[in-house]
Amino acid sequence: MSTTKHVLITGASSGMGRATSLLLSQNGYRVYAATRTPEALHDIAGNTLIPLALDITDMSSVTNALKSLERVDILINNAGYGLVATVEDVTEAEMLAQFNVNVFGTLRLCKAVIPLMRSQNSGIIINISSFLGRIGLPLFTLYNASKYAIEGITDSLRYELAPFHIRVHSIMPGFFDTNFARDNLVTNPHTFSKHSPYASMVSTLTPVIVEQINRGNAAQEVAEMIMQIITDEHFSAHATVGDKAKKFIPMRKELSDEDFERRVREYYGL
């Protein structure tokens, strides 16, 4: 029987997903790189990196994709995007779409893969969360909430799946220089209107956030942390990576709610 570990990763066409797919495939893993645009991976596809068409918002797409896999030893839930909108302006469709991808997409993949891992009596699930899953920022309320949800899913699944020798972890990246700011930020037009009552906040905060993302850490750092989690069975349940995560998460633990909020206001000029 082959000892090669089989990896399924979502959101694999760019950024952290692409970097992770490439690193694992180069280190002896068979990687099923799942994305809605598998053609974006043709330049790095090979015997150990197989592009896989998969839409995480469609359970039938998830089910059909899983039918083509021999086994899944490692699931990496990486796909996601960020909605930038005030609660006052956000539409019903925008709310549902944000959670459908970031939260329900993760749950769909877990639901489909867990029976396979349970039958193997082993497995690893790694959820790519965000440092914004532990701290809030204005205009990112829905994205924040979706990543807080990922942290809760991770915590609960660790209890559910421990009896079956399935490890569950989350990674909370800070801001990374990927295509996130260019391709994976969706903005609400009312929030970004010059007539919005939130126009001052938008003009103050969003350019800073976009600049921090574009000047952020390299996606390779996340890929290397994923490799560490896979190879170290004693790795922590939740891990931070990137400068902003390493700055804000410890600060959040050390300060009172009021003091932390004051620091964030000062830092971002709110």
Find out whether 150 and 107 touch, Cβ atoms under 8 Å: no
Is 22 within the bounds of a domain? yes
Residue 204 falls within a domain, yes or no?
Answer: yes
Q: Tell me, yes or no, whether 174 lies in a domain.
A: yes
Instruction: Determine the pLDDT at residue 179.
Output: 61
Quote the number of domains for the chain: 1
To 5 degrees, how large is the angle CA 59–CA 92–CA 150?
50
Asked if the structure places residue 34 within a domain, the reply is yes
1 found inside a domain:
no
Report yes or no on 73 lying in a domain.
Answer: yes
Q: What is the pLDDT of residue 180?
A: 57
What are the residue numbers of the active site? Answer: 129, 143, 147
At 184 the pLDDT is 67
Counting as low any pLDDT under 50, the low residues of the chain are 1
Distance CA 245, CA 158 (A): 22
**Helix or strand or coil: residue 199?**
helix
**Amino acid 53: pLDDT:** 96
260 Cβ contact list (under 8 Å, min separation 6)? 135, 251, 252
Provide DSSP, 28-82: T-EEEEEES-GGGGTTT-BTTEEEEE--TT-HHHHHHHHHT-S--SEEEE----E
pLDDT at position 105 is 98
Per-residue pLDDT at 122: 98
Find the CATH number of the domain harbouring 58: 3.40.50.720
Instruction: Domain of residue 208: give its range.
Output: 6-268
Identify the H or E element spanning 220: helix 219-231
- Which strands, in side-by-side order, build the sheet including 166-173? 49-53, 30-35, 6-9, 74-77, 123-128, 166-173, 238-241
- Within-domain flag for 230: yes
Residue 216 falls inside a structural domain: yes
Distances (CA, A) of 65 to 41, 52, 81, 191: 17, 7, 22, 38
Query: Model confidence over 92-135: pLDDT tens digits?
Result: 999 999 999 999 999 999 999 999 999 999 999 999 999 999 99
Contact 205, 213 (CB under 8 A): no
